């Protein structure tokens, strides 16, 4: 299979076009077709000469994701289950900026991306790891999750079709950009303006493809999403946290902590054996020193496991030491796993105790979490249904 064109940066494509003796504005045209118009074939790039379209189709792939299942409705959290070219299933979750309280709509969203098919890290509470790791996603498969969701939303809201840029050098001017925020130059029907890499998979176990995808999504000629609006969540891979700290872009970092002592964390996250808290904290201190950016600790509250008073002190100490904020997330039950979420009263008490220790923290309180449950569950359900149908 040839390289997918959505895995290439502008500089990489420019090098190829220069080798083909093509003028520079052709690269801009192709980038507009891919990231502004979001076309799904080279044939649709109507302002390119026919020979160039044919040459591109011969030398590059242009894959799209196939939507196999969707849960949730517009203005609420929506889950997309995609099939990849090799028939693997992955999920993306679209979360409205302001959940539709009182019937209000919101036009900006956060998209939660997957980075692997399955996950090798086997956290005991997580649906993504239940069937192990199958493969890493390529950069274009991460980029395409954003483009696919936006194509879907444009179709669903009737904002498509978009204008076609003129042929020739004058087409170097940006096409179909919204006047709403000229500095950011979003396409008019843009919906995703925040990315959290918190879907299926451990992003730092697929480091190079992840960084390539984030650069494509962040660049002014590609996804145009601000670096600070892109957050990567890791289960705590210390060497990659250090590498991430050395990157030039200001991407944000979240760490799945879920336990503030090795005893508790080690019980639910096998990765803690490889990188115990001492090592994780040292890597996070390096990140802090290099970046001075606030880290987020994610802390799922699981009944009887990590929701007791004895975790509050060590968690507060870690958060204060690293100037981290803490997001408390009541556990979403996973079919087939025995873990449960604590009562609302226990969650509220945990929050109050942390706040009393001067920690910046929030508690996710939305109801109806059945569909916005953590990534990996829709895939698991779909695979189990398919197996049941065959047996
Ligand atoms: N592998 C990365 C990113 C993907 S998981 C990581 O672990 O950080 C994204 C987040 O969802 C993590 O914080 C993870 O612990 C959490 N999560 C997994 N299963 C969950 C569940 N059933 N309920 C609530 N959060 C869950
Ligand atoms: Fe993998 Fe993250 Fe799930 Fe752990 S929580 S199994 S690292 S996806």
- 200 lies in the same domain as 267: yes
Q: Please give the distance, rounded to the nearest whole angstrom, from the Cα atom of residue 377 to the centre of ligand 2.
A: 12
Name the DSSP letter for residue 192.
E
- 137 lies in the same domain as 16: no
Distance (Å, rounded) from C-alpha 76 to C-alpha 113?
Answer: 17
Q: Whose CA is nearest to atom 5 of ligand 1?
A: 198
- Structural domain total, the chain: 2
Task: Kindly state if the Cβ of 125 falls inside 6 Å of ligand 1.
Answer: yes
- 145 lies in the same domain as 247: yes
**Helix, strand or coil, per DSSP, at residue 78:** strand
Quick one: pLDDT at residue 233? Answer: 97
User: Strand pairing of 230-234 and 192-197?
Assistant: parallel
- Alpha helix (H) residue ranges in 172-232: 207-218
- Alpha helix (H) residue ranges in the chain: 10-19, 25-31, 50-59, 139-157, 207-218, 238-245, 262-268, 271-274, 277-291, 309-322, 344-356, 377-390
User: Strand pairing of 230-234 and 252-256?
Assistant: parallel
- 34 lies in the same domain as 72: no
> Which helix (H) or strand (E) covers residue 136, if one does?
strand 133-136
- 205 lies in the same domain as 269: yes
Q: Please give the distance, rounded to the nearest whole angstrom, from the Cα atom of residue 18 to the centre of ligand 2.
A: 42
Quick one: pLDDT at residue 379? Answer: 75
Q: Which of 125, 338, 347 to mutate to test the pocket of ligand 1 (most atoms within 8 A of CB)?
A: 125
Quick one: pLDDT at residue 188? Answer: 61
- 44 lies in the same domain as 97: no
How confident is the model over 375-386, as pLDDT tens digits?
666 777 777 777
pLDDT < 50 stretches in the chain: 100-103, 158-185, 368, 370-372
Buried residues in 7-26 as b, exposed as e (16+ CB within 10 A): bbbbeebbeebeeeebeebb
For 356, counting Cβ atoms within 10 Å of its Cβ (0-12 exposed, 13-18 middle, 19+ buried), the class is exposed
Ligand at minimal distance from the CA of 271 is 2
- 354 lies in the same domain as 381: yes
Distance (Å, rounded) from C-alpha 78 to C-alpha 378?
Answer: 11
Q: For residue 142, what are its two tokens?
A: 């991460």
- 34 lies in the same domain as 103: no
Active-site residue, 126 included: no
- 282 lies in the same domain as 336: yes
- 17 lies in the same domain as 127: no
Side by side, the strands of the sheet bearing 89-96 are 66-71, 78-83, 89-96, 109-112, 192-197, 230-234, 252-256, 296-301, 325-330, 361-363
Domain boundary among 15, 42, 59: 59
Quick one: pLDDT at residue 99? Answer: 52
Q: What is the DSSP string of 326-362?
A: EEEEEPPP-TT----PPPHHHHHHHHHHHHHTT--EE
Distance (Å, rounded) from C-alpha 290 to C-alpha 239?
Answer: 14
Quick one: pLDDT at residue 93? Answer: 93
- Whole-model pTM? 0.90
Q: Please give the distance, rounded to the nearest whole angstrom, from the Cα atom of residue 122 to the centre of ligand 2.
A: 6
Q: Please give the distance, rounded to the nearest whole angstrom, from the Cα atom of residue 126 to the centre of ligand 1.
A: 6
- 31 lies in the same domain as 110: no
Phi, psi angle pair for 53, to nearest 5°: -60, -40
Name the DSSP letter for residue 189.
T
| Catalytically annotated residue among 144, 375, 383, 387 | 375
Domain coverage including residue 132: 66-390
For position 51, which CATH number holds?
1.10.150.530
Quick one: pLDDT at residue 372? Answer: 47
Quick one: pLDDT at residue 157? Answer: 57
Q: Whose CA is nearest to atom 18 of ligand 1?
A: 126
Q: Which of 126, 201, 234, 265 to mutate to test the pocket of ligand 2 (most atoms within 8 A of CB)?
A: 126
| Residues contacting ligand 2 via CB (< 6 Å) | 119, 121-123, 126, 128-129, 201-202, 235, 256
Quick one: pLDDT at residue 173? Answer: 35
For position 87, which CATH number holds?
3.20.20.70
Active-site residue, 375 included: yes
Task: Kindly state if the Cβ of 126 falls inside 6 Å of ligand 1.
Answer: yes
- 320 lies in the same domain as 342: yes
């Amino acid at each position: 299979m040839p390289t997918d064109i959505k895995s290439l940066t502008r500089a990489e494509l420019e090098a190829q076009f220069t080798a083909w003796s093509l003028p520079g504005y052709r690269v801009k045209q192709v980038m507009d077709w891919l990231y502004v118009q979001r076309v799904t074939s080279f044939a649709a790039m109507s302002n390119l000469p026919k020979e160039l379209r044919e040459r591109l189709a011969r030398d590059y792939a242009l894959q799209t994701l196939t939507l196999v299942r969707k849960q949730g409705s517009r203005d609420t959290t929506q889950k997309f289950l995609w099939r990849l070219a090799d028939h693997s299933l992955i999920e993306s979750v679209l979360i409205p900026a302001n959940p539709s309280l009182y019937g209000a709509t919101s036009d900006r969203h956060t998209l939660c991306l997957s980075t692997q098919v399955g996950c090798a890290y086997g956290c005991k509470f997580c649906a993504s790891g239940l069937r192990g790791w199958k493969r890493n996603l390529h950069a274009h498969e991460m980029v395409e999750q954003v483009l696919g969701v936006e194509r879907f939303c444009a179709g669903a809201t009737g904002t498509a079709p978009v204008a076609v840029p003129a042929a020739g050098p004058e087409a170097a001017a940006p096409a179909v950009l919204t006047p709403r925020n000229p500095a950011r130059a979003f396409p008019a029907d843009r919906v995703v303006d925040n990315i959290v890499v918190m879907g299926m998979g451990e992003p730092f176990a697929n480091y190079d493809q992840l960084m390539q995808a984030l650069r494509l999504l962040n660049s002014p000629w590609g996804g145009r999403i601000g670096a600070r609006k892109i957050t990567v969540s890791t289960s705590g891979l210390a060497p990659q946290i250090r590498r991430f700290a050395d990157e030039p872009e200001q991407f944000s970092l979240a760490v799945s902590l879920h336990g503030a002592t090795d005893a508790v964390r080690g019980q639910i996250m096998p990765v803690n054996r490889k990188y115990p808290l001492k090592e994780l904290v040292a890597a996070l201190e390096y990140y802090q020193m290099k970046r001075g950016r606030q880290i987020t600790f994610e802390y799922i509250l699981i009944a009887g496991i990590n929701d007791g008073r004895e975790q509050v002190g060590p968690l507060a100490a870690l958060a204060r030491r690293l100037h981290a904020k803490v997001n408390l997330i009541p556990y979403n039950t996973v079919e087939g796993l025995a873990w449960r979420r604590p009562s609302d009263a226990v969650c509220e008490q945990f929050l109050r105790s942390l706040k009393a220790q001067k920690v910046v923290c929030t508690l996710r309180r939305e109801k109806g979490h059945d569909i916005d449950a953590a990534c990996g569950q829709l895939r698991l359900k779909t695979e189990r249904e398919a197996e049941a149908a065959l047996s």
